[in-house]
Structure 1
Amino acid sequence: MAQPDEPQPPVVPSCPLPSKICDVARSERPRSCCGMAMAGFRTAKYQLPEWHRRNAGVCYEAVTAGERAERGRAEAEQLVKHAAASAQRAQQRSKATLGQRLQDVHFWRMELQKEIMELDSETKLLAAQKLRLERALDATEVPYAVVVDNLECRERRQPPDLVIDEVERQLLKEADLIRDIRDLLKRTIIQAATQIRSNRIQKENCELDWSDKVETYHIDDKCVGYCTDSTNVQFHPSSVKFEENASTPKSWAQFSHDNISRAEQEKLASVQLRSLINSIIRDASEDLRMQRAATAEALDARCRELDEAKLRLEQRLGQILKDIGEEEANIANLKKAIKEKEAHLKVAHTRLYDRSFRPNVELCRDEPQFRLVSEVEEITVFLEALKRKLMESEQNLKNLEETRMKLEKEIAVKANSIFIDRQKCMSYRVQYPVDLEVASYKQ
């Protein structure tokens, strides 16, 4: 339709048109006076009404074509305006959609970047904890070597001091504790290494997703900048179709969400493992410290006990030595007494012997004879008693000598045990680490 302010086309006066422009009414033609000789020229010509009708038909067709062309121009103009407005609106909507998409990509990119940084920091913290575990494991080598050396040294004790005492029980308990701690530290180191590997794998996944987001952001940002005046735009008909492997907005967002969720899970597991490592090192250090104190206390008590036993033995040895001296003096006195009594017996025997030579009736059982016989019997009884006492004293002296040897041997054994426990074990335990937790921080 023509607009009201547009000029109207000129109106062509209507003229009557025949039903058929080229229809010639042969019957209305005037007859020629020239006869049959002019018949051919007369039949090839139109009548004047036919000529008017034909002109009127040509004019009608021209007017119709003009009107049709005018309607086409108006419609074309409207189509151009509508297409331009529609294309502009579509481009603005696409630009707005791309802008919203840029915001979404930027959001997930920043979330991924934040997660990557946090996961990287957490991995470094866990690696530091793993290093603490390794240092703590190295620090247990000295205590274990000390305990093994103590047990081997105490195997060199001599009987009867080669006993399963409280010190040995504490040393065996300490050795078992250190082995358990070492096994626990080794298992925790493996667990930490596995968690670090999982953290790095998830960090790599997030980095790949972040890299794709960065590239996508640059592409969409470049697309937002395109306009009809851009010099680097061109036709790409093949890009209109959707790719078969293209994701949906839901799956696209879910992919990044899953990556972040898995990263959060790994980070949480890493935090929990770091807390567990702190507890393990702290508890192991405390258990080892308490066991070390118990072993040291047992060693100290055992050394005091050995000192007391050795002192008692030395005191007893002193008494035995005194008894030996007295017994030796007693034996000497007994021998002297026996010798004296034998001298008296000799006198009595000699008297009796000489009096046995008294002649005839003089060989009388007189009072001196009875007295001499009584004296011999008395001296003989005393001699036998003295000899028995001498034998008893000599046996006592022998027993005392054996006791002295046993005491000296026991004292030597106790001295050896004291040397092993105090000089070997306790002095070597000075190299024992003060604190396993402190040792885990040392370079």
Structure 2
Amino acid sequence: MSAAQVLVSRAPVPQTVPAESLPVHTVQPAYNTGEHSSSGLATSGFRTAKYLLEEWTQGGLTSFYRAFSDRDSSERLRHEAKQLAAECEARAVRSQADGTRGLGQRLLELHFWRSELEREIRDVTAETELLLREKSRLQRALDATELPYSIAGDNLQSRERRSGAELVRDGPERELLREVELIRNVQDLLGRTLEQSIQQIRQNRDAKEKLEMDWSDKVEAYDIDDQCGRYNNQSTDIQFHHNSSKFEDNTSTPESWAQHSHENIYRAERERMASINLRSLIDSILQDTSEDLRSQCDAVNSAFAHRCEEVEDVKRKQEEHLMKILKEIGDQENNIAALKQAIKDKEAPMKVAQTRLYQRSYRPNVELCRDPVQFRLVGEVAELAESVEFLQQKLEEAEQSLRNLEDTRMSLEKDIANKANSLFIDREKCMTLRTRYPALIKLSGFQ
């Protein structure tokens, strides 16, 4: 390319103005060939230092579009900045209003839980006082059970002196054991109930302490949040706290915060209801145990009252049974003798049948036949052996029955001999001591 064709460098088109929107001008190279050339013939064929008209026009358009782009960008930036400032201001006002409204809601929640805690503290305190009175009554009732236990124990020791077969668990014995067991159960029940009441009083006080601690925290938190709700942009005691917006590791969530108070109140209500139920249970236990002890005392007295007549009746029946046993022993001895004779009577038929079979085994050659006679003789031997086996088994049973009858006879004779001693112990010892049994009102814990 010749030097005359070199173009003069131009300013770049601004990036904000699309290149397609600019007018396209084809710049032709200027040659110094005109007759009015300022360079003369010496510069013929070289580029001139002056811009062409088309280049001047292009430069003006470029400056126009650059100014237009910069002004448009600046106006858009000012508009966005103004809009952003307004949005930030509105968001700050809205956030502060939300925070103030949230603090107000929080104060309502704190007031609600504080009131609930105060109510529950009053209820738990009143219930604990009522339970203390029931505990004192329970202790008196427990002390009153010592005398019945002593009486029942002495009766049992006296009846241990019965001898032989009379040392049995008869009606009075069962009733006395029931009475002893009942008194032990009553003492154990009253003791456990007493321990339970002590434990319940302790739990009531623990629940009350937790409620009071929670209530104290709620009061302090209420004062703090109430002060925070009064702050505004014109407050004089506000300042920057750069690290205040971070969450501490030991902070709670709204759910866990409400759950904490709910659990404290729920536990206190549970303990209070348990205390109410325990007081009702104590009253029911004292009433039931006193009635049960007196009812059992009457049952023992009734058993002792009927015992003498029962012993005499049993003695008479045992004598009747003894006579029947003696008669049955004689009949069984005769039966044993008859069975032995029957077994002996089967020896001759067995010998006949076995002899026949033995002799027929010598039949010669083909005569040694399994004829019907042979089968009948074999069956006869089996029948006789089975009969002897049945008779022998029945004989063993009869002999065992005879031994049982002899043991029963000895037992009846020994029991009849011991009846008089039992009647003396029941009449003279036990029934006299039971007149000292305590009254119902004392067993109920009122005295």
Q: What TM-score results when the alignment is normalised by the length of structure 2? A: 0.46
